[in-house]
Amino acid sequence: MVKIPKEQRRYCPHCDEHTEQTVKEVTNRSASPWSKKARKRQRKIDNGYGSFPYENPANRSRGGSNPTSGKKDLEFNCKECGKSWKPRNAIRAAKFEIER
Ligand SMILES: [Zn+2]
């Protein structure tokens, strides 16, 4: 179980200094169909590549097993400038909680 505090003092890339920030988990955000990743996937679906797209994602071989943890989509909001930013290296955890 990974617990992170809701309010943290972190570096803000907009202010270029450490400020008080709130964290929230971004959920139910649909992927943009114009992103590079989505266009690549669509191109593979249209043209075909090997056995892509897979019939069942669970059958994909990923070193023998599918990962039970997932990358968490976090967004930090700076109280000083009001802008939000996302960390480059996402936290990977099976169980995740934001403490009040
Ligand atoms: Zn800021």
The H or E element that residue 10 is part of is: strand 7-12
Between the CA of 7 and the centroid of ligand 1 the distance, in Å, is 14
From residue 36, give the alpha-carbon distance in Å to each of 1, 22, 53: 33, 29, 17
- Tell me if the domain spanning 1-26+68-100 has CATH number 3.50.50.60: no
**pLDDT of res. 19:** 95
Between the CA of 88 and the centroid of ligand 1 the distance, in Å, is 17
Average pLDDT, the chain: 84
Between the CA of 86 and the centroid of ligand 1 the distance, in Å, is 12
Contact of 33 with 52, CB cutoff 8 Å:
no
Calculate mean pLDDT across residues 35-64: 73
Percent of the chain with pLDDT over 70: 83
**pLDDT of res. 1:** 86
| Least confident window among 19-28, 33-42, 56-65 | 56-65
**pLDDT of res. 40:** 85
**pLDDT of res. 46:** 83
Question: pLDDT band for position 17 (50/70/90)?
Answer: very high
